[in-house]
């Protein structure tokens, strides 16, 4: 049955016939086109180089991290647009999911020890009611947070967090309020019983 393959007359010169026949079918040993091979080898080289550059040796910033940095830069640029932060901008930021998650992260790590994670107050005052010691507008909070009230135990966060993070954290606080809400200015905060030294007069 199987006899040595014969080269039919119409065979292209560079394609040799394989020496087998299955069910009467013969195969040519077709060489892969050079462009195809180059694409394949090129892809392999690229993959190894890419892996080394971004992942194994981290010479370049991986795209996901680059995107993150760019988004943060955009948010910062938006906050710093015309170099000025205003009540209006902070209210707007208080609806931005990304700003809020950044603000929450800062609040939970930096502020929650004194204000409680739900902001209802501990050593520091409640930030979700409408009573404020230093004013309840976004810019009032921004000022209090930036400059602090050292004498009363509220550290100045300006040098620690910077403008952007403070704006985010204010936006996060303001997400619990709304513009035009009644603001009652009070003299001080009474911490829950047993938390801190005697409550200041109110």
The answer to the question of residue 104 lying near ligand HEC (CB under 6 A) is no
Q: Which of 127, 167, 171, 175 binds ligand HEC (CB under 6 A)?
A: 127
Provide the minimum distance between the beta carbon of 193 and ligand HEC in the complex, in angstroms, as a whole number.
16
Contact 96, 104 (CB under 8 A): no
Does residue 92 belong to the site contacting ligand HEC (CB under 6 A)? no
In contact, 148 and 157? CB cutoff 8 Å: yes
Residue 144 touches ligand HEC, criterion: CB under 6 A: yes
* Pair type for strands 25-29 and 16-22: antiparallel
* Shortest Å distance, C-beta 169 to ligand HEC: 4
Among 16, 80, 110, 190, binds ligand HEC (CB under 6 A): 110
Question: β-strands 184-185, 131-132: how paired?
Answer: parallel
DSSP per-residue string spanning 5-56: ----TT--TT-EEEEEEETTEEEEEPPPPHHHHHHHHHHHHHHHHHIIIIII
Residue 68 CB, shortest distance to ligand HEC, in Å, is 22
In this complex, which beta carbon is closest to ligand HEC, that of residue 1 or of residue 187? 187
- Residue number, 5 or 76, with CB nearest to ligand HEC: 76
Per the listing, tokens 């976004």 go with 138
Reported as half-sphere exposure (CB side, CA atoms, 13 A), residue 191 has a value of 15
For ligand HEC, the binding residues (CB under 6 A) are 110-111, 113-115, 123-125, 127, 132-134, 141, 144-145, 149, 152-155, 157, 169, 188-189
């Amino acid at each position: 049955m199987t006899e040595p393959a014969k080269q039919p007359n119409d065979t292209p010169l560079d394609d040799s016939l394989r020496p087998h026949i299955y069910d009467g079918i013969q195969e040519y040993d077709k060489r892969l086109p050079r462009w195809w091979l180059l694409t394949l080898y090129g892809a392999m080289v690229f993959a190894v180089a890419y892996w080394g550059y971004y992942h194994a040796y981290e010479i370049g910033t991986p795209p996901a991290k680059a995107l993150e940095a760019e988004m943060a830069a955009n948010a910062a640029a938006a906050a710093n647009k015309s170099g000025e932060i205003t009540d209006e901008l902070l209210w707007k930021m208080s609806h931005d999911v990304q700003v809020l998650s950044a603000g929450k992260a800062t609040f939970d790590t930096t502020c929650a020890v004194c204000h409680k994670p739900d902001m209802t107050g501990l050593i520091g005052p409640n930030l979700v009611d409408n009573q404020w010691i230093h004013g309840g507008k976004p810019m009032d909070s921004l000022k209090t947070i930036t400059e602090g009230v050292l004498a009363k135990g509220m550290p100045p966060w300006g040098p620690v967090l910077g403008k952007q993070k403070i704006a985010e954290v204010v936006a996060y606080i303001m997400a619990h309020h709304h513009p035009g809400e009644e603001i009652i200015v009070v003299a001080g905060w009474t911490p829950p019983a047993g938390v801190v030294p005697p409550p200041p007069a109110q």
